[in-house]
Amino acid sequence: MIRPDVGVVIGQLRDQARAATGLDDFGDETDYLDGLTALVSAALDVGGPEGFLRTPVGVYASASLVGRLVTERGWRETPGWEQTSVTEPIFIVGIPRTATTVLHQLLDADPAHQGAPQWLLQRPQPRPPRSEWPAHPDFVACRQANEALQQAIPALSLIHDTDAHLVDECWNLIFQTFRSPLFEAIANVPAYSEWLRGVDLVPGYRRHRDVLKLIGVGDDRRWVLKDPTHVYGAGAISTVYPDARILHLHRNPIAAIASICSLMMYVGRVFGMETDRRELGRRHLALWATGLRRCVVERAAFAPDQVLDIHFEHYVKDPMGTVGSIYDHFGWRWSDQARSRMTLVLDRERSRPGPPAEVLAAFGLTEDDVAQAFGDYLEAFGGTV
C-alpha cells in the first residue's frame, strides 16, 4: 500500500505529465509504479514534500512520466513497430568521464550505424527525416531548454557535450521504468538505492529495446548506445540483447571520480542547489565502485569476442587508431565516408575548451579512498587502467 504523502506526490507528478502532453495513458502500472513509489518515498524521507516537484528527483520523475506517455502513444499509432529488429547493438560501457561521449559520437558518425539524439530520447517517436527536425516542436523545445541551461550554467556544457541533435545517453529510456542507478547519482536517496539493489533490471532494458524499435522503426542499422549506468546492467543487457557488442572504457578512477563529482556539482546548480561536496564525493565513490564490481562479474555472460576493453590513455593518444581497433575486433567494414565524418567529430571536439579542473580533496576524498573502493576492479584489470 502506498503511504498517503507518497500517493499525493505521485498524483501531482502524473498530473504534471498529463498537462505537459495532453495524454493520459501511462501504460502498465506494474512496469513502473513500484520503482516510482520507491523513489518518491526515499526522496521524501530525506527532503520532505516541500518544493518536491522542483527538486532534481521531482523534475526527472516528471520528465520520465512524460516519456512514458509519449512512448505509449507512439506504440499505439505506429503499426508494425514490433517487427523492427535491434541486432548486434553496440553498448559503450564505462563510468562517467571516461571518454564515452566522444566515442559515442564517433561511432554514430558511421552511416552504417544509428543512434538516438537527445530530443527523441526525451520524447520517443518514430525518427523523422533530419531535414524536418528544426521545425519539429519537440526538437525546438529541447534545443531551447539546452540554450537556457547553457546561459545559466556555462561551465556545464564544457563538462558534458550535449544538444538536441546530438546522440545522448539512453538512461531516459530506462528511467521510464524507474529502475536506474542514475537516480542515485542525481540525489541522495539511500532507501531507493537499497530497493534497487534487490530488483531485476531486465524490465528496464526490455522497455529500452522496445522504445528503440519505435524510434528506429523500419531502420535495421546497428544501434550505438551509451549510458554510464550500463555498468550496472551488463547482466540485464545479456538477457535482453544476447548478441550485443560491449565496448568497455577504462580510466584510472582517481582521475575519473574527481571529474564525476565536478559534473554533478554543476548539475545541482541547475536546480539552484549548492551541493554538500563531501556527501557528493562519498555517494559517487560508492555508486561507481559498486557498479564496476558488478560489471566485472556480469559481463562474463558475453562471449570474449563480444567484448572489447579500451583504455582511456590509449584512446586519448590515438582516437582514430582506437576506432580502427574496434572495427577490426568486430569484423566491421570501416568506410571512407565513416572515416571522413569521424574526422569532423574529432575536429569539433578539439575546438571545444576544456572543462574546469577539480581535485579529489575538494570532495573530501583521497587517492587512497579511491584505490581502496576500486580495488577489485583494479585487480581484475591488472592495475593497468
The grid cell for 376 is 577489485
Query: Cα-flanking dihedrals φ and ψ of residue 233, to 5°?
Result: -110, 10
pLDDT value at 352 more than 80? no
Please list, in sequence order, all residues whose beta carbon lies within 8 angstroms of the beta carbon of residue 91, skipping any fewer than 6 positions away. Answer: 225, 226, 230, 237, 241, 244, 245, 246, 247
Q: How confident is the model at residue 116 (pLDDT cuts 50, 70, 90)?
A: very high
pLDDT value at 77 more than 70? yes
pLDDT value at 384 more than 60? no
DSSP state, residue 92: E
**Residue environment code for 41-58, b if the CB has 16+ CB neighbours within 10 A, otherwise e:** bbbbeebeeeebeebbbb
State the virtual CA torsion across 264, 269, 271, 277 in degrees, nearest 10. Answer: 50
Q: How confident is the model at residue 248 (pLDDT cuts 50, 70, 90)?
A: very high
The grid cell for 280 is 557528493
**Is residue 206 exposed (0-12), middle (13-18) or buried (19+ Cβ within 10 Å)?**
middle
Alpha-carbon distance of 365 to 284, in angstroms, equals 11
Can you give the pLDDT at residue 378? 83
Q: Is 21 strand, coil or helix?
A: helix
Tell me how far CA of residue 359 lies from CA of 89, 254, 277, 364, 371, in angstroms: 36, 9, 12, 10, 15
Query: Which of 100-104, 123-127, 227-231, 256-260 comes out lowest in average pLDDT?
Result: 256-260
Phi-psi region of 316 (alpha: psi -120 to 50; beta: other; left: phi over 0): alpha
Alpha-carbon distance of 333 to 314, in angstroms, equals 22
Query: Cα-flanking dihedrals φ and ψ of residue 167, to 5°?
Result: -60, 145
Please list, in sequence order, all residues whose beta carbon lies within 8 angstroms of the beta carbon of residue 303, skipping any fewer than 6 positions away. Answer: none
373, 350, 349, 369: which is closest to 359 by C-alpha?
369
- Please compute the mean of the pLDDT values over residues 110-120 and round it to a whole number: 97
- Please compute the mean of the pLDDT values over residues 272-278 and round it to a whole number: 81
| Residue, of 164 and 383, whose pLDDT is higher | 164
Q: How confident is the model at residue 304 (pLDDT cuts 50, 70, 90)?
A: very high
pLDDT value at 1 more than 80? no
Q: How confident is the model at residue 263 (pLDDT cuts 50, 70, 90)?
A: confident
Alpha-carbon distance of 374 to 385, in angstroms, equals 11
163 in Cβ contact with 255 (< 8 Å):
no
pLDDT value at 51 more than 90? no
- Please compute the mean of the pLDDT values over residues 40-48 and round it to a whole number: 91
Can you give the pLDDT at residue 97? 85
Q: How confident is the model at residue 155 (pLDDT cuts 50, 70, 90)?
A: low
Query: CB 166: neighbour CB atoms within 10 A?
Result: 17
> Mean pLDDT of all residues in the chain?
92
pLDDT value at 62 more than 80? yes
Can you give the pLDDT at residue 356? 64
Can you give the pLDDT at residue 157? 62
- Please compute the mean of the pLDDT values over residues 130-145 and round it to a whole number: 96
- Please compute the mean of the pLDDT values over residues 20-27 and round it to a whole number: 97
Query: Which of 98-112, 153-167, 307-321, 352-366 comes out lowest in average pLDDT?
Result: 153-167
DSSP state, residue 129: P
Can you give the pLDDT at residue 196? 97
- Sketch out the chain's domains with CATH numbers: 4-380 (3.40.50.300)
The grid cell for 81 is 513497430
Q: How far is CA 337 from the centre of its chain?
A: 28
State the virtual CA torsion across 296, 300, 306, 310 in degrees, nearest 10. Answer: 20
**Is residue 82 exposed (0-12), middle (13-18) or buried (19+ Cβ within 10 Å)?**
exposed
